[in-house]
């Protein structure tokens, strides 16, 4: 692990407690994690395990109480909110369960906006948008408003939006969570296709079957990594722990 390029993502000792109405929620209780370029990593675990909190920390949408995060070997320790926002546009695409589309602008504008904000020319933003929408089977939908699309279509627009700036890292939090099984298969197929082309993906899901599309499955339980089964050429997958998810491939 000493040679070679820096991991796309490296986190050490991440801790996050939520203070709300009732007792504090110790959502993330000491997480170390490295993701190498080109990996497709799934983080799976039961509802309430802390998966979303972890993903929000990794995308800079929440600050950890302690611990550190490096992106492409660059420490994020001193990044302000504004710096995170700028860097997210370049380095991290994020897809959530409920689409995160801007409801009152067209599909085309939803996809082009992040490119324009990142400094692309209007022409470049448009070309990227056209390519991605075609790729995602959304030809002819560019003038639609998000509310006119099916759930699966909206989620594909969200994917286009997250990928338009070619981020080295894609973070996806239950990206098929609100879809029917057809929509779910569609999203998973698209994630696999982008992965095959070299996209690094960190997918959070409570569904172990979806996780089995990844080449490394991390079981997350009670704020901690309970099992990390990397499927590499050199090391056989570690099984057991609480996961057993690898047996669930269909
Ligand atoms: N904003 C918040 N305020 C208070 N508690 C929260 C907040 N977000 C999450 N939690 C709590 O933190 C724990 C982990 O939640 P979450 O990260 O959403 O888990 P998961 O995504 O695995 O379902 C849960 O107990 C949840 O209730
Ligand atoms: Mg969640």
> Residue 189 in 3-state DSSP?
helix
Which pLDDT belongs to residue 2?
A: 54
Query: Is 90 exceeded by the pLDDT of residue 26?
Result: yes
Stated pTM of the model: 0.89
26 and 20 in contact (C-beta within 8 Å)?
no
d(CA 17, CA 47): 16
Which residues are near ligand 2, the ion (C-beta closer than 5 Å)? 52
Report the sign of the C-alpha dihedral through residues 60, 64, 70, 76, in that order: positive
| CA geometry: angle 12, 15, 21, nearest 5 deg | 165
Residues within a 6 A CB radius of ligand 1: 18, 20, 25, 27, 45, 47-53
In whole numbers, what is the pLDDT of the chain averaged over residues? 88
What's the mean pLDDT in 227-231? 80
Torsion, Cα 123 139 85 102, to 10 degrees, reads: 110
pLDDT confidence tier of residue 129, bands split at 50, 70 and 90: very high
67 and 235 in contact (C-beta within 8 Å)?
no
51 and 210 in contact (C-beta within 8 Å)?
no
Which ligand 1 atom sits nearest the alpha carbon of residue 52?
21
Query: Is 70 exceeded by the pLDDT of residue 148?
Result: yes
What's the mean pLDDT in 5-30? 95
Which pLDDT belongs to residue 245?
A: 36
Please give the DSSP secondary-structure letter assigned to residue 151. H
User: Measuring from atom 7 of ligand 1, which residue has the nearest CA?
Assistant: 18
Output 38 or 240, whichever has higher pLDDT. 38
Output 233 or 92, whichever has higher pLDDT. 92
Closest listed residue to residue 88, CA positions, set 139, 161, 145 = 161
pLDDT confidence tier of residue 231, bands split at 50, 70 and 90: low
Which pLDDT belongs to residue 3?
A: 63
Ligand 2 centroid–CA 199 distance in Å is 22
* Per-residue pLDDT reduced to its tens digit, 98-117: 778 999 999 999 999 999 99
d(CA 220, CA 19): 21
């Amino acid at each position: 692990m000493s040679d070679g390029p820096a991991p796309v993502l490296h986190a050490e000792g991440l801790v996050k407690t939520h203070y709300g109405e009732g007792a504090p929620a110790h959502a993330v209780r000491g997480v170390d994690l490295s993701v190498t370029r080109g990996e497709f990593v799934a983080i799976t675990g039961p509802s309430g395990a802390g998966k979303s909190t972890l993903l929000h920390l990794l995308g800079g949408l929440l600050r950890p109480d302690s611990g550190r995060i490096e992106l492409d070997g660059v420490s994020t320790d001193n990044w302000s909110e504004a710096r995170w926002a700028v860097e997210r546009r370049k380095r991290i695409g994020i897809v959530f369960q409920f689409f995160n589309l801007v409801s009152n602008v067209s599909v085309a504008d939803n996809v082009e906006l992040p490119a324009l904000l990142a400094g692309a020319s209007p022409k470049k933003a448009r070309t990227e948008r056209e390519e991605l929408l075609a790729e995602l089977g959304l030809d002819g939908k560019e003038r639609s408003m998000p509310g006119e699309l099916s759930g699966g279509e909206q989620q594909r627009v969200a994917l286009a939006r997250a990928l338009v700036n070619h981020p080295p890292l894609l973070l996806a939090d239950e990206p098929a969570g609100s879809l029917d099984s057809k929509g779910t298969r569609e999203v998973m197929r698209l994630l696999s296709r982008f992965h095959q082309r070299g996209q690094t993906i960190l997918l959070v899901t409570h569904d172990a079957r979806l996780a089995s599309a990844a080449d490394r499955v991390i079981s997350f339980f009670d704020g901690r990594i309970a099992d990390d089964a990397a499927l590499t050429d050199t090391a056989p997958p570690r099984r057991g722990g609480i996961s057993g998810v690898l047996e669930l491939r269909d």
